[in-house]
Amino acid sequence: MKTADKGIAGEKVTGKELKGKYYACIIASGSMWGCIGIFIRHLGGYGFSSLALTALRAMGAALILTIYMLAKHREKLRIKLRNSWCFAGTGILSLTFFNICYFTTIRRTSLAVASVLLYTAPMFVMLLSLFLFHETMTWRKGAALLMAFAGCVLVTGIGRGDMSLSLSAVLTGLGAGLGYGLYSIFGIYGLRRYDSMTVTVYTFLFATIGTAWFVDYGLLVEVVAAHPLVAVELLAFGFFTNVLPYLLYTKGLSGMEAGKASITASVEPVVASLVGIFCFGESVRISVIAGVLMVLGALVVLNVKSEKVEI
C-alpha cells in the first residue's frame, strides 16, 4: 500500500517520492565527500598533515553547526547523558577511528589499496544490520554490494602497478572500513532518539574531542597570520565536506536501511575520480569509466521495484 505524507508546502508526497528524496540525500552527501581532494591538495600545501586536516575539518564543522543550532534550534541541543554513547560512536569510534586507520593504511601501502579497503564499509554495515536491525538480505542487495565494491576497485585503479601489501596494512585498512561503516550503525541508534541535526552536531563535537590532538596549533596560528583567507577556507572545508554531507547522509539514513545507504554512498570514489580528471588533469582510463558504470549499475539494481527473492 502506498503511503502519503505532507510536503513543506502542504502537498501530498507519496512514499515513492519520499524514498527518492532519501536516496538523493545519500547521493548528494557521497558526491560532496568525493570533492574533499580539492581542499586537501590546496590546504596540504601549507604544511598541514592529513590527520590535522581531519581534525580542523571536524572543528570547523562543529563550530559552524553549534552556532547555527544555538541561534535557530537551541532545543535540539538538549540530550540525555545516557544517550551520549550514540555520539561517541559516530564521532569517535567512527570518524576518529576510521581516519586514523585510513591514513595509517596509506602510509603502509598505496592510496588505491587503502581506498578499496575503506570501501569494504558497506559489507560491514550490511552484516551488522542483519543482526542488529534485522534487515533483510536480498539477492538485489548482494548484487548491488558486489557491483559497488567492484566499481570502487576499478575506479581506484588497484592492480595497475607495484603494490606492497602487508598484514598490518590489511588490518588497518579493514579497520578503516569498519570505522567508516559504524557511522551508519550508531547513526541509526541516534536517530531513534533525536533529530538528524542533533545527531550530526554531536557527532562533530565528539569527533573534535577525538581528533584535537592531531593539530599543530603553532603551525595553524602561523599560517593563518600569514594567509588570513586560510581561516575562511578551513571553515568552507568543514562546511562543504562535513556539515552539509553529514546532514544529508543522516537525513537519508533516517528514511532507509543502513545497508542500502552505505552502498549508495559508494558514489564518493566515482566523484573523486571525476574531480581528479576535470580539476587536476588526471588521465581518463577505461577502468575508471567501467568503475563508474558499475557503481551506477549497483544503484539501479538496488532501486528496482521488486525484492521478493530473499537469501
Q: Domain-by-domain residue ranges, the chain?
A: 25-303
CA distance 206 to 199: 11
Report the C-alpha dihedral over residues 252, 257, 263, 269, rounded to 10 degrees: 20
Q: How many CA atoms lie within 13 A of 7 on its CB side?
A: 9
Q: For residues 90 and 206, is the Cβ–Cβ distance under 8 A?
A: yes
Q: How far is CA 109 from the centre of its chain?
A: 22
Q: For residues 180 and 118, is the Cβ–Cβ distance under 8 A?
A: yes
- Model pLDDT, residue 309: 40
Largest CA distance in the chain: 62
The model's pTM is 0.87
- Model pLDDT, residue 194: 97
Adjacent-strand bridge partners of 12:
6
- Render each residue's pLDDT in the chain as its tens digit; 311 residues: 344 444 333 344 456 677 889 999 999 999 999 999 889 889 999 999 989 999 999 999 999 999 999 999 999 999 999 999 999 999 999 999 999 999 998 888 877 778 888 889 999 999 999 999 999 989 989 999 999 999 988 887 766 654 557 888 889 999 999 999 999 999 999 999 999 999 999 999 999 999 999 999 999 999 999 999 999 999 999 999 999 999 999 999 999 999 999 999 999 988 988 888 888 888 888 888 898 899 999 999 987 764 444 44
Radius of gyration for the alpha carbons in the chain, expressed in angstroms and rounded = 19
Q: For residues 18 and 202, is the Cβ–Cβ distance under 8 A?
A: no
Name the nearest CA neighbour of 262 among 120, 155, 136: 120
- Model pLDDT, residue 131: 94
- Model pLDDT, residue 199: 97
All three cell numbers of 73: 534550534
In this structure, how many other beta carbons lie within 10 angstroms of the beta carbon of residue 268? 24
Question: SS3 for 5?
Answer: strand
Helix then strand then coil, in percent of the chain rounded to 5, is 75, 5, 20
Please calculate the CA angle 277-278-284 and round it to the nearest 5 degrees.
Answer: 30
Mark out the alpha helices in 89-216 (DSSP H runs): 97-108, 111-118, 121-132, 139-156, 167-191, 196-211
What end-to-end distance do the CA atoms of the chain give, in Å? Answer: 24
Mark out the alpha helices in 1-49 (DSSP H runs): 15-33, 36-44
